[in-house]
Amino acid sequence: MIKIFYRRGAEIALCQSETEFATISKENVLWIDLLQPTGEQKRAVESFLGTETQSRAEAEEIESSSRFYEEAGAIFTNTNFLSPADDEMLMDPVSFILTQGILTTIREVPLRSFNTLQMKMQALPDQYPDGFTIFVDIMDKRVDLDADIVELLSKDVSQFSKRINQKEDINEEFLLDINQLQENTMTVRENIVDKQRLISNILKSKFGPRDPELRSDLNIILQDIASLINHTNFAFERLEYLQDTVLGIINLDQNNIMKIFTFVSLLLMPATLVASFYGMNVTLPFADKWWAWVAISALMALLVVGIWFFFKRKRML
């Protein structure tokens, strides 16, 4: 699918066919949005812009030189848009091309923020004079959504902390849940840092926006990103602390179980020795007396009580 937003008088018009490029002046085009584009659509865009577009494989590369580069007066950049899915975070790559005031986006999945912005553009055309303005608005909305995700992660961390304080379900599954939350936090932080690098490079680029207001907006977004990075770092530190606490509780529980087994074994060991001694098939002192079994039972009970009292006095119980 292709959407071409261009200025027509005081309005921003939309066409959804690559054949319309022949009827649109390049100076009027603001945004070309490609969603799961066909080969013909990508070739038409490349011909119209006079430059190549990124492939999906290039959009997913992690090298810095592939995430942001400049070529023939155009800025090429790639980043990921996060979306929560069950217990995981999905990363959807989006490619941006900024050339001659025209923004081109290439993506494989629908994004609600893009749809909302496109409706806003047509409702308020005066607020979007060029592609740089649209790009700044996309980044601003994306950082806001990332902030919502960070807030949800912080709430999850607080819930885990409460469960630990209340000693609810402290087991292996609980530990795995914390590990998954750590993975999500690292994914969010990686995604936010990637956008920080992207916006910093655009501000440094000689092909970047020259409008002081746009540059000020990008600097504000960078400040927001820096605060989000601090929040994710703090959330990750809390998760490490919770993980250590859970491991400590599990180890204490296991130690208490082993302590009980050890104490029971020691408690019964002398009585077992006496019983084994008098259970031998040989002649033993007092074995022929009628009160022998009473004395042996009393001795065994006395040994058990004596050992219990000894451990109790030593505060080993």
Q: How far apart are CA 314 and CA 317, in angstroms?
A: 8
The pLDDT score that the predictor gives to residue 216 is: 92
- Check residue 239 and give its pLDDT: 82
Q: What is the pLDDT of residue 284?
A: 63
- What are 28-55's pLDDT values in tens digits? 889 899 998 888 888 888 888 888 877 7
Positions of CATH 1.20.58 in the chain: 252-313
Distance (Å, whole) CA 249 – CA 277: 42
Domain 2-251: top CATH class: alpha beta
User: pLDDT 10s per residue in the chain (317 long)?
Assistant: 889 888 888 888 888 888 887 888 888 889 899 998 888 888 888 888 888 877 766 656 656 556 788 887 888 888 888 887 777 778 888 889 888 888 999 988 888 888 888 888 888 888 888 889 999 999 999 999 889 888 888 888 888 788 777 776 677 777 788 888 888 888 888 888 888 988 998 888 888 888 889 899 999 999 999 999 998 888 888 888 887 877 777 777 777 778 777 777 777 777 777 677 666 665 666 666 667 667 777 777 787 777 777 777 766 65
Tens-digit pLDDT profile for residues 187-242:
888 888 888 988 998 888 888 888 889 899 999 999 999 999 998 888 888 888 88
Q: How far apart are CA 233 and CA 246, in angstroms?
A: 20
Cα–Cα distance, 41 to 316 (Å, whole number): 78
Give me the pLDDT at residue 223, please.
Answer: 93
Taking alpha carbons only, the member of 101, 154, 168, 88 closest to residue 130 is 101
Q: Which of 56, 20, 7, 49 is nearest to 35 (CA)?
A: 56
Q: Which of 93, 201, 89, 81 is nearest to 141 (CA)?
A: 81
Closest CA to 195 of 233, 216, 222: 222
Residue range 252-313 forms a domain whose CATH class is mainly alpha
**pTM of the predicted protein model:** 0.76
Q: What is the pLDDT of residue 224?
A: 92
Integer Cα distance of 13 and 4 in angstroms: 8
Taking the C-alpha atoms of residue 149 and residue 142, their distance in angstroms, rounded to an integer, is 11
How distant, in Å, are the alpha carbons of 141, 194, 195, 291 from that of 77?
A: 18, 11, 10, 96
**DSSP tag of 303:** H
- What whole-number distance in Å separates Cα of residue 152 and Cα of residue 90? 15
Q: Where in the chain is the domain with CATH 3.30.460.20?
A: 2-251
Helix (H, G, I), strand (E, B) or coil at 214: helix
User: Nearest Cα to 14, choosing from 126, 24, 22?
Assistant: 24
